[in-house]
Amino acid sequence: MAITIDATVGGASANSYVTLAEADSYMEGRLNASAWETDATTDNKNRALAEATRWLTAATWLGYRVDDTQALSWPRAWVIDPDDPNADYFAQTVVPERVKRATYELALEFIKAGTTDIAAIDSTIDIKRKKIDVLETEYYDRGVRANGLAALQGVQRGPRERRRSRLNSRWGSLIFSRQLAGDLHKHNEARSTKQDEESEKENAAHAATFFWRTGV
């Protein structure tokens, strides 16, 4: 049975972040997309878009879903747009272009894979070297070799840039906090010195008054 794409933003039955027309337009301007443009059927393209959307919807995102009835993870509330010079939030009525690009790229990977299920667990994961004679296998340390979405650089480009932006923001906040702490320290030192000077003057005045009254 053929699949029908529903790309309604925030829809309760939506199954894709993008329409087939949007995906076709994106692939026209992308290099090495012949598998999509000439080899794939319309139904397979739709299936690839739906599968890509399922993968991305299962990912962990910042912010919150706008409506508890929406089928997909986007649109979302309280997510800062890293491309906005004013660091404003994404509109709660749209699917960001970064998410759409990730959908296109992941769908293309599904098409390129053909009958190979890239969602399946890689049986060669962490294998560094394999020796057939005497059957010797050497493995990478766990986590060295990327797998899943992390192995698909075209899909991860947007999220990775977002993490880098957040990292820079954190360092910027840390540097600012340290500068602020240093300024406050200097201010407190100056204030303490001034209070000590005023206290010494006050003590001297009391001593002078006492000497004048007693003659001691």
| 54 and 130 co-located in one domain | no
| 86 and 34 co-located in one domain | yes
| 114 and 125 co-located in one domain | no
Lookup: tokens for 33: 């997309």
**Confidence category of residue 54, pLDDT binned at 50, 70, 90:** very high
Q: Assess contact for 126 and 138: CB atoms under 8 A.
A: no
| 74 and 173 co-located in one domain | no
Would you say residue 140 has pLDDT above 50?
Answer: yes
Could you tell me the pTM of the whole model?
0.62
Query: What does the pLDDT read at residue 171?
Result: 40
72-90 average pLDDT score:
95
Instruction: Please tell me the total count of domains within the chain.
Output: 3
Query: What does the pLDDT read at residue 166?
Result: 47
| 146 and 44 co-located in one domain | no
Would you say residue 114 has pLDDT above 50?
Answer: yes
Would you say residue 170 has pLDDT above 50?
Answer: no
| 88 and 132 co-located in one domain | no
126-133 average pLDDT score:
64
Q: What gap in Å lies between CA 202 and CA 209, rounded to an integer?
A: 11
| 112 and 134 co-located in one domain | no
**Confidence category of residue 174, pLDDT binned at 50, 70, 90:** very low
| 93 and 51 co-located in one domain | yes
| 40 and 70 co-located in one domain | yes
| 209 and 170 co-located in one domain | yes
Range of the domain at 24: 1-120
